[in-house]
Structure 1
């Protein structure tokens, strides 16, 4: 059994503006950096064997305080990047409705096999990428405790897999920025959620 502590990156300005980030390299804003510091403080007393981060800067910046308190150098994992959204990346919902109404309408159906133009991944391909990466990590570090800093879409795929939810449909789970999600993965790659969306360490943080 491998313990997984999965963490969404801290807040960015694009999160606030509800702009599709996808795989564009957007840094944390001031609140996101404060969230990352709180995260490092929250986990300072926990023993971790490995720290893994998506290679995108918003995840790496979130991992930095945790790396400092744990004395661990983050292992970068491009396979744990956010989903690629193609032509929607860098656009707000209002922009998308104006510029790409047909594509947005198709995307909003949340069909697992639909991939937007411009190099996007289908949800099914994204799910396969995420689960393969996590299972490879868990197999290589069986019986240990791993912290993984990643993205909201990645965590949605994990939540669906753990609870045997379909890939079709809108997100149903809460995934707060810099929130903690604790899971176990067995030797067969099965996932069990221990706790989800824990952001108690962020209470009282100024907006």
Structure 2
């Protein structure tokens, strides 16, 4: 089984560097265009089903890909972005102005990493059991995916953000997960 993990296309808030969290922001023009490029790239491989977060930016990305590949999109709320609490909609500078340089140390209602990893693991384990012989695409969000990847691919450097419409392909093996590609945006250059 191969699973392709995709971060949604870009939004206006991405470009403004605003924390999106669970705010339901739509793709911008560039996000739709990049999702179409990714769909074209994925069309060279066999994918059987797409699971997507219910948030608009992920669902729109999944819909663009599914239309090109001729496959169904299944919504799973466990794939939603990590909750951003009080920082949603703010830029880094706005957070510093409001809560100071050490805002990350405050309890601002941000969903804990271990909770994100737990729901990601639950969903992905269920997909594996139910669709054992299928190749699956999952469209989700930057923090959600980064937390999951830190857990299952600890040897990789996870300091940088995942790019919009980036593709990471993992293969489940007896000893754990092996990555085929990680945070790839090669499709944007085609």
TM-score normalised over the length of structure 2: 0.91
Q: Matched residues in 2 for 1:121 and 1:135: separation? A: 21
Instruction: State the partner residue of 2:16.
Output: 17
Instruction: State the partner residue of 1:112.
Output: none
Cα deviation for residue 162 of structure 1 reads 2.4
Cα deviation for residue 117 of structure 1 reads 3.3
Instruction: State the partner residue of 1:131.
Output: 121
Ranges in structure 1 where 5+ consecutive residues have no aligned partner = 108-115
**Contact 1:5 1:146 (8 Å CA) reproduced:** yes
Q: 164, 171, 186: which is aligned to 1:177?
A: 164
TM-score normalised over the length of structure 1: 0.84
Instruction: State the partner residue of 2:149.
Output: 159
Q: Matched residues in 1 for 2:158 and 2:174: separation? A: 27
**Contact 2:142 2:161 (8 Å CA) reproduced:** no
The 3-state SS of whatever aligns with 1:155 is helix
1:117 aligns with 2:116: no
Cα deviation for residue 105 of structure 1 reads 3.6
The 3-state SS of whatever aligns with 1:11 is coil
Ranges in structure 2 where 5+ consecutive residues have no aligned partner = none
1:45-56 paired onto structure 2 within 5 Å: 45-56=44-55
Alignment size in residue pairs = 190
